[in-house]
Amino acid sequence: MWLRLYWKDERLAWNQTAEQINHLQPTHEDVWTPDFVFYNQKKAEPLVMSKIFLYPSGDLTWSVPYQISFFCTFDLRKFPSDEQDCSMELAAWSYHGGLQDINIFTR
């Protein structure tokens, strides 16, 4: 699964016209990254540490491929005609909702 994370840090914005730089690729050590966890994860690990893109507006984008296994409860009483639902419970780990607002967008 690909996680595409978007956030804004206005302290990192610059004047694109004056600098003539379209984007930067800071390292993970140089910028804050969203702090999140899947509450119902059994195992979650990034497959690679992909690049972060920083744009003149201070917007940042980070696309991370993850391999994730989840704990789910299934009701098999109507098997094989059943339908199951296993949701991902994503939340901030060390910051509360007032400091870090997490929204999930699907395509």
pLDDT given for residue 22 in this prediction? 93
pLDDT given for residue 99 in this prediction? 65
CB 95 within 8 A of CB 106: no
pLDDT given for residue 103 in this prediction? 64
pLDDT given for residue 57 in this prediction? 95
User: pLDDT averaged over consecutive 10-residue blocks of the chain (107 residues)?
Assistant: 86 89 92 81 81 94 86 83 79 68 63
Apex 96 CA angle, 29 and 26, nearest 5 = 15
